[in-house]
Amino acid sequence: MFLIIQTGDPVPTAMNQFGRFSDWFIQGMELSKKTLTVDVHLGQPLPNARQIAETLTGIIITGSPAMVTDQDDWLIETQKWLNQIMAFNIPTLGVCFGHQLLADLLGGQVTYNSKGRNLGLSEFSFSENASTDLLLKSINHNRSIPTFASHLQHVKTLPKSATLLGSCELDKNHAFRAEEVLWGLQFHPEWNTDITRTYIQARSEALIKEGGDPEKRINQLLPCNLAYNLLKKFSEITKKHNNSKLALKIN
């Protein structure tokens, strides 16, 4: 069973048209109905870590309009739970806010990005470490790939246990791996051009105040299929990892 830790809701226009964050991951990963979604930002409690660990194949931590630096109570409680579940070595993927939440949990530093907002199409450049990474090595034959991004905060300093996997123009710590099967991606593999367009439109007033051009950003959008394929790759990793654990138990 997959667990999706939902840490917020999309902008209203995106939610009305495309559903919630969990829907986008379920669709992109082609997950079955055996998926548990917990809205931690609404105060929903996560299941007992020890009791559910045996049935979990993977964990997703979604994006959010919240800020890690606000240290909301639900965020702290979620990190406490993740700290417990990490002992069971379950493949975990944190995206955008989820990426920052994991970095903060592991001892990294999250701050507002002094280079400003990253919203729209964003070029992701692979580090040398990506060539041997389980998640990224299948697509790192390209030096970089286009991705979709939307964030004001970033991981300024990686945790000591983390391995840098890539960067973008506005953010040097754009992806990392830690604890063997734990990944953080600042970009949004689950987004498409339509979702990204609604975000740019929703943030257009703020973009203009910051000196940005919403229409230009919309016109630059293009499909980011290689990034989207990472969702299926992560799903494959969870299945192989789970099969390996089962084989060890049998032996």
Q: How confident is the model over 94-107, as pLDDT tens digits?
A: 999 999 999 999 99
Residue 245 scores a pLDDT above 90: no
Confidence of residue 247 (pLDDT cuts 50, 70, 90): low
Can you name the CATH fold of 2-242?
Rossmann fold (3.40.50)
Q: What stretches of 19-85 show up as alpha helix (H) in DSSP?
A: 21-29, 49-53, 73-85
What residues does each domain of the chain span?
2-242
The closest of 184, 213, 186, 23 to 106, measured between CA atoms, is 184
The closest of 160, 158, 189 to 171, measured between CA atoms, is 158
Our measurement of the distance from residue 55's CA atom to the centroid of its chain's CA atoms, rounded to an integer in Å, reads 22
Q: Are strands 171-178 and 182-185 parallel, antiparallel or unpaired?
A: antiparallel
CA angle 154, 203, 60 (to 5 degrees): 45
Centre a 10 Å sphere on the Cβ of residue 150 and count the other Cβ atoms it contains: 23
- 97, 217, 249 from 110: Cα distances, Å: 10, 26, 39
**What is the rounded average pLDDT for all residues in the chain?**
95
Element containing residue 199 per DSSP (H, E): helix 193-202
Confidence of residue 50 (pLDDT cuts 50, 70, 90): very high
The closest of 213, 157, 204, 190 to 20, measured between CA atoms, is 190
- 9, 31, 136 from 12: Cα distances, Å: 8, 24, 32
Record the pTM.
0.96
- Give per-residue pLDDT as tens, 159-177: 999 999 999 999 999 999 9
Collapsed DSSP state (helix, strand, coil) of residue 59:
strand
Distance CA 53, CA 79 (A): 16
Query: Per the structure block, which two tokens stand in for 156?
Result: 């300024």
Q: What is the predicted pLDDT for the residue at 146?
A: 97
